[in-house]
Amino acid sequence: MPPDHNHQDNQPISEKVEDSNKQAPENNLATFKVLVFKSHAPKAYEALIFSTWLNSLRYGNDLFKLAEADPYFKAYSAFITQLLTRPNIKVRIAVLTDEPDTALGWAIDEGNILHYIFVKKDLRKNGIGRALLSKSIKTFSHLTNQGLSIWNKKCPELRFNPFT
């Protein structure tokens, strides 16, 4: 869902830009920027976050595939809702610099804990995930098959703890 620039956030989006423009080297992708929102997910991005988190975790993790669909989606939606209300949550959204309504990916972190990161499949390997990742991350709480591969190859120093 594209962001609505008449959103109800406390600050204008322009004040929430943490990282300046990044150039995605492959794919000839235009430059992008990372918007950072403290203590909440903007309404304009909630549907994107929920749908991609729920589906990529369910179908990208062999154990979650074993769970019945209805209980999984109901329970995990409630879990994500609760997590997004924690006071130290940061929501990072990568958007095209020239088209800020176009989200490329997102990350949810809390202090030094990465709860989830998602980049659209056809845009991966362009530095978007790296730009979304806070430099203070030491632990992550969710793991998919793709995430396991990235962890082993690029971030073996991070620790997995699903109970954070």
- Is a pLDDT exceeding 50 seen at residue 113? yes
- Is a pLDDT exceeding 60 seen at residue 68? yes
For residues 150 and 132, give the distance between their C-alpha atoms in angstroms, rounded to a whole number. Answer: 14
Is residue 134 one of the residues assigned to a domain? Answer: yes
Q: In CATH, what number is assigned to the domain containing residue 113? A: 3.40.630.30
With b for 16 or more beta-carbon neighbours within 10 A and e for fewer, the 29-46 pattern comes to: beebbbbbbeebbbebbb
Say if strands 159-160 and 139-140 run parallel, antiparallel, or are unpaired: parallel
Helix (H), strand (E) at residue 139: strand 139-140
Contacts for 10 with CB less than 8 Å, ≥ 6 apart: none
Is residue 64 one of the residues assigned to a domain? Answer: yes
Where does the pLDDT of residue 41 fall: very low under 50, low under 70, confident under 90, or very high at 90 and above? confident
Contacts for 145 with CB less than 8 Å, ≥ 6 apart: 60, 61, 62
Is residue 5 one of the residues assigned to a domain? Answer: no
Distance of alpha carbon 99 from the chain centroid: 19
Where does the pLDDT of residue 34 fall: very low under 50, low under 70, confident under 90, or very high at 90 and above? very high
For residues 41 and 92, give the distance between their C-alpha atoms in angstroms, rounded to a whole number. Answer: 9
For residues 9 and 12, give the distance between their C-alpha atoms in angstroms, rounded to a whole number. Answer: 7
- Is a pLDDT exceeding 50 seen at residue 6? no
118 versus 2: the higher-pLDDT residue is 118
Closest by Cα among 19, 2, 44, 8 to 128 = 19
- Is a pLDDT exceeding 50 seen at residue 29? yes
24 versus 6: the higher-pLDDT residue is 24
Domain that holds residue 42: 14-160
pLDDT at residue number 40: 82
Kindly report the average pLDDT of the chain as a whole number.
85
The total of structural domains in the chain comes to: 1
Q: List phi, psi (to 5°) of 33.
A: -135, 160
Q: Is the dihedral of CA 14, 106, 87, 4 positive or negative?
A: positive
* Rg from Cα positions in the chain: 15
Q: Supply 101's token pair.
A: 């309504």
User: Does residue 76 contact residue 57 with C-beta atoms inside 8 Å?
Assistant: yes
Is residue 6 one of the residues assigned to a domain? Answer: no
Is residue 7 one of the residues assigned to a domain? Answer: no
pLDDT at residue number 57: 97
pLDDT at residue number 14: 36
